[in-house]
Structures are given as structure tokens and as C-alpha cells.
Amino acid sequence: METEVTEQFFRENAYQKQCSANVIASKENVIVLDKTVFYPLGGGQPGDTGKIEWPGGIATVVDTRYGEDGMINHLIDGQGQIPAQGTTVTAHIDWERRYKHMRMHTALHLLGSILQYGVTGGNISAKKSRLDFDMEDTVDKESVNNQLSKLVAANHQVTCRWISDEELHSQPELVRTMSVQPPKGAGNIRLLEIEGVDLQPCGGTHVRSTAEVGNVRVGKVEKKGRRNRRVSILLDQ
């Protein structure tokens, strides 16, 4: 087999909703493709759902996960048909759900730029997302909410780029400006930049500019221990 890892279109273009692909392997509950638009669970962002279609068949994807050796597993509900190895298929994500994840994910970067504390956890869903901060201070919810609205309205550009370890070493000032330090010796690192707001390594999917985040607001602020404040954000539909 020549393919070693699934080609991942969502890395370069988060807005791609479908792609043509070949079936590398399939069994009752899993389809593996040579390339995909489906984002696998990771970095607090849920795996995509959607459909895989081929002439005479359709399968419902209920979740997407990394398998071993970098392949991406499309988990199937087990109700419908399964395409045979070698079949050419079209993979479609549930775009409405994914786009909300992109808006939420970008909003969490904004939240992290407002509350500049260590982040110890996080989770994204279409309706409610959260970050856990390593902090003892109280959170001024109203103030955070206002700053969040301003960052959205300012329509900052959001871009991704890859950088090698060598480039990173030759630009120490870049590392200093990052809100989260990159992993050492990772080879190539994907950087997410919100112009003038945030720069950090991130593998998730984001919107192109902060205006697309739309109507988000701060929900609950919970004290989850002496040094843990859990801040939730809600997406108004």
C-alpha cells in the first residue's frame, strides 16, 4: 500500500465540504479512505459526521477518529451498506455542524487572548464550548463578554501556516509571541494566527476572519477548584 496517512483536506481548506476518495479498507463499522474532508476528534474539537456515497450505496458517518498509523477512521452507524475496498466514493461532511465547530473553535482562541492564563482543558460543541484556566482571580464576565464582542466585530484575519523546526529556531521572537509554546522536535508545526490577537500551534479548523464567529457570548463561569476557572461560551443561532 502506498498511502501511509490519509490525505487531510481540512488542514489546508476548512471550508471544503466534500471530496472524491478511494476506499483503502472497510469493515462493518469503519471506512478508511485515501483522502478526506472529515476532521477527526482532537484538540477538544469533535470528529465530523456526514455521509459517504458511491454508485448504488450510502453510509452514514456518526464520528471520525484517528486510527493507528495516522489513518483516519470514518465510524459508520452499522445500518447501511459498506463500500468494498477500491471503490471510488464521495465524502460529504455535515457542514452546518462543522461550521459551528469552526466558529466556536475560533471564539475559544479569542477567549484565550482575553484571559491570558494557562489553559488546562477545553471542549468544543456546536452550542456550548469551554476553556479551563489555571487562575485564582475572579472573572469579570461582563468585561470578558464586551472584549469578545469587540474582537469579533474588528474582523481580524485568521490564517494558518506550516513552519519547520529550523525556521522556528531561526526566529526566537516568534516563539516568544506565541500564547502556547510549540512542541519541541515535532518537525513541521501548524501555526494558527489571528492577526494582532493570537498566535499558537493548533491543528483544528477555524473560520477565515473573526466576524464569521458571529453571535457568541460568555455563559457560565464556574469555580472548579482553587486554581481552576471554567469559562463557557454560547453560540446564538
Residue 105 burial (10 A CB sphere; 0-12, 13-18, 19+): buried
Contact region for Zn ion (CB under 5 A) — 10-18, 67-75, 121-129, 202-210?
202-210
Q: How far is CA 234 from the centre of its chain?
A: 17
Of 92 and 109, which has the nearer Cβ to Zn ion? Answer: 109
Contact region for Zn ion (CB under 5 A) — 2-10, 72-80, 87-95, 197-205?
197-205
Among 76, 102, 119, 202, binds Zn ion (CB under 5 A): 202
Contact region for Zn ion (CB under 5 A) — 88-96, 116-124, 143-151, 191-199?
191-199
Contacts 24+ apart (CB under 8 A), 82-86: 82/26, 82/27, 82/28, 82/31, 82/57, 83/23, 83/26, 83/31, 83/52, 83/54, 83/57, 83/59, 84/23, 84/26, 85/23, 85/24, 85/25, 85/26, 86/22, 86/23
Contact region for Zn ion (CB under 5 A) — 26-34, 54-62, 155-163, 189-197?
189-197
Of 144 and 207, which has the nearer Cβ to Zn ion? Answer: 207
DSSP secondary structure string, 22-79? EEEEEETTEEEESEESPPPSBTTBPPP-EEEEETTEEEEEEEEEE-GGG-EEEEE-SS
Q: Does 112 bind Zn ion (CB under 5 A)?
A: no
Q: In this structure, what C-alpha cell is assigned to residue 7?
A: 490525505
Q: How far is CA 211 from the centre of its chain?
A: 18
50-79 footprint of Zn ion as x/- string (CB under 5 A): ------------------------------
Q: Does 189 bind Zn ion (CB under 5 A)?
A: no
Q: Does 204 bind Zn ion (CB under 5 A)?
A: yes
Q: Does 47 bind Zn ion (CB under 5 A)?
A: no
Q: Does 46 bind Zn ion (CB under 5 A)?
A: no
Determine the size of the site formed for Zn ion (CB under 5 A). Answer: 3
- Shortest-Cβ-distance residue relative to Zn ion: 202
Q: Which residue has the cell 469559562?
A: 231
Of 51 and 190, which has the nearer Cβ to Zn ion? Answer: 190
Of 59 and 131, which has the nearer Cβ to Zn ion? Answer: 131
Which residues in this chain contact Zn ion in the complex, by CB under 5 A? 192, 202, 204
